[in-house]
Amino acid sequence: MLLTKHEKVTFKNQTVYISGQAFLNCSFVDCTLVLRETIYFLQDCTFDRCNWHVDWVLMWGSPESIVQLKALVDRIEQAQVQLQEQLKQQEAQAAAPSGEGKSPFAQ
């Protein structure tokens, strides 16, 4: 099966069907991501405030389907951690003194 390739694309406020596609270095912002039971590829993508619609049949006795679902959940968790780290950095930058009124001799 050939996958439609998307590289370095930013998707904003869209419904994006992940299945049957390859995404490399893409950003998803405020999107609904739809994933069905077919091949897909995600590499070095970022996810910001996205909702996931997952339609997946887990076959009894098929460890592969469990492994695939766990990999997806891991990817979603990584995106959430990344977003939390970005928010903490932004808060720290906003709280940091701007340098006004500092002595040029202060260390």
Model pTM score: 0.66
Q: Flag whether 101 is in a domain.
A: no
Q: Flag whether 25 is in a domain.
A: yes
Per-residue confidence of the chain (107 residues) as pLDDT tens digits?
Answer: 689 999 999 999 999 999 999 999 999 999 999 988 788 899 989 888 899 898 877 778 778 878 878 888 888 888 788 778 888 888 888 887 665 555 555 55
Number of domains in the chain: 1
Reduced to 3 states (helix: H, G, I; strand: E, B; else coil), residue 76 is helix
Measure the CA–CA gap between 4 and 20, rounded to whole angstroms. 7
Range of the domain at 79: 4-95
